[in-house]
Amino acid sequence: MMDAKQMIIQGRTALGIEFGSTRIKGVLVDYDGNVLASGSHEWENSFIDGVWTYDLADAEAGLRSCYSSLRAETETKYGVTPETFGAIGVSAMMHGYIALDKNDRQLARFQTWRNTNTTEAADELTELFGFNIPLRWSAAHLYQRLLDGEEHVREVASVFTLAAYMHYRLTGCKVIGVGDASGMFPIDSDKIDYDAKMADEFDRLTAEKGCPMKIRDILPAVLTAGDDAGTLTEEGARMIDETGTLRAGIAMCPPEGDAGTGMTATNSVAPRTGNLSAGTSTFAMVVLEKQLSKVYREIDMVTTPTGFPCAMSHANNGTTDLNAWVGIFGEFCRLMGIEADMGTLFSKLYTHSLTGDADCGGVMAYGYYSGENITFINEGRPLLIRTPDSRFNLANFMKANLYTSLGAVRMGMDILLKDENVPLDRIMGHGGLFKTPGVMQRYLAAAVNTPVAVMETASEGGAWGIALLAAYLADGKRDGKLEDYLDKRVFKDLVGAAVEPDPQEVEGYETFTQRYIAALEVEKSAIDAVRW
């Protein structure tokens, strides 16, 4: 076994970079998944002309900044500057819409997963296909732009997700991992490609609208984990590393969305496994043994990075409002002359919530910064609601904000676990919300009434997941399928104690859920009334 320094010098490592909602993160791993170094860059979406978006120039600048911090950490820890890797992977927020013309010129603002301005298109396509098309899917965005009469649609030559776009910029290859592809257009899991019948129906529909297009020519080609997805070009190397040290020619794995990397990072790629990713958006994934009995608008049908069908309960809103409240407490501390870093504040407040009532004492919150597809609400108004006789204290306040980050997802999981009786042996939690030990793990177990495990790597999230997919391409395929590589090498020594659901907390969360559903009428009324 060579040491980490020699691995880095020889390029026997894998680099994963994920463009998350608030942070671009890079993780360098060895081929067994051990983290050697990391780097990050903070960024944030903008709401411009009614559209949630990011400037793609900021994505490229953020990529360089993220890699620069990772390179600096590598130099500090190991005394060596990386020049090459065994493989590189790029991941990003699933879904959305990046449209280019035949000369690769961007035609319209990048529309992220957060936009819910596609109701008409999503409804029509769902009825046409007999398959749920969520509001944030790329196909819904493209068709909505056509319905809205936007002139740029006639010039569209390529549509990408953010991960596929950044991969294209780095390699020149118009490809996408099947998991991310399943957030663009329905996938035929038997053929590991876009569903041919639905693609033909989409083409006929757009032709009838006077804008003929071939959707399979517009979308990136579909690949699975371990496939060759091209190599890093000279231009791509300079885009990552402005010092010019990084070499071209490095193999790249298929770009994946944050759902696929979340499944990989929690070893939840086999049937009867599931995971929940908690961040700016919150979503639960359950790998299926068979298809659901019918179409549900609340449930997305996507795939694992190897093409297994997977049901997703995806909530657009997660921790944004929760983070804002913790920021208020930080501001109060500064006002009082108290030194408290944000990490300590999060930990103290989350842990204190455990002393609250199991049902949050009559306190209710909605962190709806944007529309929420599971509850069929197309705009957001963050709200805090309580009755005069509620037990309004800090613990219940924090617990309500933590509970509600799972509120919409719980509604989707009820469909899977109660209505469809989908078998689920365990669910893994990952993402920043699980950094404070023993808090969200307990609340998630109560929400889904299923044992929940959280690995020590939980906070590494999707950047680690895409690094593992890159490592699988570089060296892991000799172990067999992706799930074999993960079982045999990456997770064989990782321990994540499972928390069993507590009956009292299960009952309390059930009460909270009933109130959450009933008070949605308040959220709808707030949207109508609050327009300043």
Among 248, 262, 183, 252, smallest CA distance to 220 is for: 183
HSE-CB for 147 with a 13 A CA cutoff: 16
Residue 391: left (phi > 0), alpha (psi -120 to 50), or beta? Answer: beta
Q: What is the pTM of this model?
A: 0.83
Query: Using CB atoms within 10 A of its CB, is residue 356 exposed (0-12), middle (13-18) or buried (19+)?
Result: buried
- pLDDT value for 1: 46
Asked whether 516 and 523 are in contact (CB, 8 A), the reply is no
The CATH number of domain 95-160+185-218 is 3.40.720.10: no
Report the Cα 432 to chain-centroid distance in Å.
Answer: 12
Domains 95-160+185-218 and 267-454+502-532 share a fold: yes
Domain parsing of the chain, residue ranges: 95-160+185-218, 267-454+502-532
Using the Cα atoms of residue 147, residue 152, residue 154 and residue 160 in order, give the sign of their dihedral. negative
DSSP 244-273: S-SPS--BBPPPEEHHHHHHHHTT--STTE
CATH no. of 267-454+502-532: 3.30.420.40
pLDDT of residue 459: 57
Nearest-angstrom CA–CA distance, 71 and 77: 10
Beta bridge partners of 303: 309
Quote the CA–CA distance of 264 and 428 in Å, as a whole number: 11
Q: Beta 193-194 vs 273-278: how paired, if at all?
A: unpaired
Q: Count of H helices and E strands in the chain?
A: 19, 22
Whether 222 contacts 191, CB under 8 Å: no
pLDDT by position in tens, the chain (length 532) = 469 999 999 999 999 999 998 899 999 999 999 999 999 999 999 999 989 999 999 999 999 999 999 999 999 999 999 999 999 999 999 889 999 999 999 999 999 988 889 999 999 999 999 999 999 999 999 999 999 999 999 999 999 999 999 999 999 999 999 999 999 999 998 999 999 999 999 999 999 999 989 999 999 999 999 999 999 999 999 999 999 999 999 999 999 998 899 889 888 888 888 989 888 888 899 999 888 999 999 999 999 999 989 999 989 898 999 999 999 999 999 999 998 899 999 999 999 999 999 999 999 999 999 889 899 998 999 999 999 999 999 999 999 999 999 999 999 999 999 999 999 888 888 877 888 888 999 999 999 998 898 876 655 678 999 999 999 999 999 999 999 999 999 988 766 678 899 999 999 999 999 999 999 999 999 999 999 8
Q: Structure tokens of 240?
A: 């990552």
Distance CA 447, CA 362 (A): 17
